[in-house]
Structure 1
Amino acid sequence: MGPLLSTHPVLRRHFGAVAALTVSLICSLLVALAFVLDLDGAELALLAFAYPLLVSVPAAAVMLRNSRIRETFELHENGLAQVRDGVRQAWTWDRVRAIDLTPRGADLVCAVRFDDGELVRFSGMDTGDSLALHDALAEHCLDALTQRAVPERRGPAAGAMAAITLAGAGGAGLALWLFSRTGELDGARHFGLAMIAAAGCATAIVTGIPLIAVLRATRPD
């Protein structure tokens, strides 16, 4: 690997995890209020806030777990090393097979695939002096920039999210239309249609936001 030129610690931020936890707590409180308030049955509409919990709770758990991982990249004269939770892996420059550079707002995410199948990622916002890593990869592994490190999988994911979003929006729209067309029906029937509309809207919002993010994301060259 040659002499060590520099080290680049990864400093993961907790903002995303805190935001997901905040959403989870607010939605949990609203769901709990559905069992406490008495608004002639209308309070049960708060149960629709259980849908965002299906996304925010797992997201918070994953981001909190990742934020606890200690990681450092080592730039050597003849290669790159990664120390992750005390486990060190090292690769020489000739073992780099593919590099993806993906803009993400003002940040740049780099994914590097090695000949043993290992994939490492680092970004400018989280990794100290990541520009030195980019320069070293460009200098020693220029051919790898023409290969894909991460297979393109956004197509199926976007299709699935689009189908769920359309189903939720369509169900909500149909329920609202039936609600407006019904005459003198019992309160239970009206309440059921209102709950279907609320559930459909919540589903469309929960899947629609990441769908927009996927569709707006810049594809790497």
Structure 2
Amino acid sequence: MGPLQSTHAVPTDRRRVLGRVALIIAVVSAALLALSFVIDLDGAERGLIFAVIPLVPAVAAAVVLLLKAGPSEVIELYEDGIAHVFGGVRRSWAWDQVQAIDVAERVGYTEADCTVRFTDGNLLYFSGSTENSRVIIGVLTRHCVDAGREPLRARHKGRTAAFLGGVTLISGGVAAWGYLDGPTVFTVACAVPAVLSLILLISVLVTGRR
């Protein structure tokens, strides 16, 4: 890898975003669970009790992500390559292993997000909040002139959004059909994944790169 040129600390902004999403899911799950004791659908409201399933892990995730300090994360630039250190685990790649680079400008910000794909299939993402992110991007651009310029993060974001959208439409459609045709425990239970997947879909669409 050659001599170390610089190190760049990665902030915990991703943990905070994920923690807030987990907290929202926990609150909504608790509300759906409470609703099962309030509304009367001739017994079908018992389907909302399934909201306890996402409630427990969502609460645990929110507590860990928002209250507990996460592992340190650093990007290291070397003369002959780049390394990523997360929680003491180090991965490194030579410059000729960089296959594609995706730089996404942040609207209203001077910094930019970046996603890098390597020939071994690994992805490395760092946001504009990373210390001197422009320096990292400049070094990548200078050393990896043959690397492709592809919308890597947008592509993964689109696949995730498509999956969550499908879950929302299917479970929401079943819940709506059941409500109109006479609610059952199963159709009311479908409201739980419909609401939660909609929350996740919104979070995917409104967060991250522009």
Match of 2:118 among 86, 93, 114: 114
Residue 5 (1) aligns with residue 9 (2): no
> Against the structure 1 CA distance between its residues 97 and 157, is the aligned structure 2 distance closer, same or farther, given a 3 Å change threshold?
closer
> How far did 1:41 drift?
7.6
> Against the structure 1 CA distance between its residues 123 and 43, is the aligned structure 2 distance closer, same or farther, given a 3 Å change threshold?
farther
SS in 1 for 2:189: helix
Note the 1:44-123 alignment, pairs <5 A. Answer: 45=45, 48=48, 50-51=50-51, 53-54=53-54, 57=57, 61=61, 64=65, 68-102=70-104, 108-123=112-127
Provide the C-alpha distance between the structure 1 equivalents of 2:158 and 2:18, rounded to a whole number of angstroms.
27
Provide the C-alpha distance between the structure 2 equivalents of 1:7 and 1:199, rounded to a whole number of angstroms.
49
Provide the C-alpha distance between the structure 2 equivalents of 1:39 and 1:213, rounded to a whole number of angstroms.
28
Match of 2:196 among 202, 206, 210: 206
TM-score, normalised via structure 1 length: 0.64
Larger Rg: 1
Provide the C-alpha distance between the structure 2 equivalents of 1:197 and 1:8, rounded to a whole number of angstroms.
50
Provide the C-alpha distance between the structure 2 equivalents of 1:198 and 1:102, rounded to a whole number of angstroms.
41
Q: Report the more deviating stretch, 72-81 or 131-140.
A: 72-81
With a CA cutoff of 8 Å and minimum separation of 6, indicate the structure with the bigger relative contact order.
2
Contact 1:104 1:218 survives alignment (8 Å): no
- Give the partner amino acid of 1:82: H
Provide the C-alpha distance between the structure 1 equivalents of 2:39 and 2:154, rounded to a whole number of angstroms.
51
Paired residue for 1:143? 146
Q: Say how many residue pairs are matched.
A: 204
Provide the C-alpha distance between the structure 2 equivalents of 1:8 and 1:171, rounded to a whole number of angstroms.
48
Q: CA RMSD in A?
A: 4.4
Note the 1:123-138 alignment, pairs <5 A. Answer: 123-125=127-129, 127-138=130-141
Percent of pairs with identical residues? 32
Structure 1 gap segments, 5+ residues each: 180-192
- Give the partner amino acid of 1:141: C
After superposition, the C-alpha distances for 1:77-132 in whole angstroms (9 at most, x for unaligned) are 4332222222334333233222223457667432223344443221112x211111
Structure 2 gap segments, 5+ residues each: none
